[in-house]
Amino acid sequence: MRPGVRSGELQLKANLAEIMESIQGEGLLVGSRQVFLRFTGCNLRCAYCDTPASFEPLAYCQVAKVTGRGDLWEQVPNPLSVEQVLEQLENYSSQWISLTGGEPLLWADFIKEIGTSLKHRGYKLLLETNGTLYEQLDKCLPYIDVISMDYKLPSSTGIDCGAKHAQFLTVAGNKPVYIKIVIDAKVKRVEIEAALGIITDVNPNITLILQPVTPIRDAVSPSIDKLLDLQKMCREKISDVRIIPQIHKMMGLI
């Protein structure tokens, strides 16, 4: 049995789309080297989603054992156990793990189980989430170091997630959290105003990132004038508002 893994902790399995090491392309940890565990499944359908292949369970997990090389994938049969994931992590140097998706909190029990082993090994965990599954967050919160929460606008998802976002931020409590809002050309000021009200009611001191959408399907990038206008409006309620695009897309990284 591996060090840091206790008896009975290797029972759960998860369906993963990808395991790879690359550069974090979004949010406050942008530019840092991380290992990405991309879980399958999502409870939302965003118009700008760039990982639609992860919506449903997959027969194989794609593992890139060479950092930044998307042409050197190995297929590993799903689902994967905690032990199998830990073995894959030995191929990489980074101590930061990004739990991403899809929506990783659909696998909260697995994250809770693997979290103990990862923390014993000195890893830090970034949770990248759509910020709606607050009950699942509560299960694995002790193992998470930083939360990157997407605020989902009605124009992107077709539903109003505001109440769930408020509960999610409340459950997150004092855990380090930053919020990303993906901005496309169709986003309206009234949507952002509503989001600001919900966010500041829970945590007025949070960092907010406006992320211009990377064009995909019908999603069109906003103008810089629109981004600057929205940033100015947001700064009336939140002091730390940043505009950060997806740099990994700009650099052609996986």
Q: Residue 162 corresponds to which tokens in the numbers above?
A: 């505001």
pLDDT of residue 143: 97
Q: Residue 149 corresponds to which tokens in the numbers above?
A: 């929460």
Q: What is the pTM assigned to this prediction?
A: 0.92
Is 5's pLDDT higher than 50?
A: no
Domain boundaries, the chain: 13-251
Is 125's pLDDT higher than 70?
A: yes
pLDDT of residue 11: 67
Tokens 């118009």, residue located: 47
pLDDT tens for each residue of 70-112: 678 999 999 999 999 999 999 999 999 999 999 999 999 999 9
What is the domain class of 13-251 according to CATH? alpha beta
pLDDT of residue 8: 43
Contact 28, 89 (CB under 8 A): no
Q: Residue 111 corresponds to which tokens in the numbers above?
A: 């994250």
- Which residues pair with residue 99 across a beta bridge? 37, 127
pLDDT tens for each residue of 202-241: 999 999 999 998 867 777 889 999 999 999 999 999 999 9
Q: Across all residues in the chain, what is the average pLDDT?
A: 90
| CA 47 to chain CA mean position, Å | 16
Q: pLDDT: is 52 or 59 the higher one?
A: 59
Is 61's pLDDT higher than 60?
A: yes
d(CA 11, CA 13): 7
CA angle 254, 65, 71 (to 5 degrees): 50
Q: pLDDT: is 246 or 13 the higher one?
A: 13
pLDDT tens for each residue of 142-182: 999 999 999 999 998 889 999 999 999 999 999 999 999 99
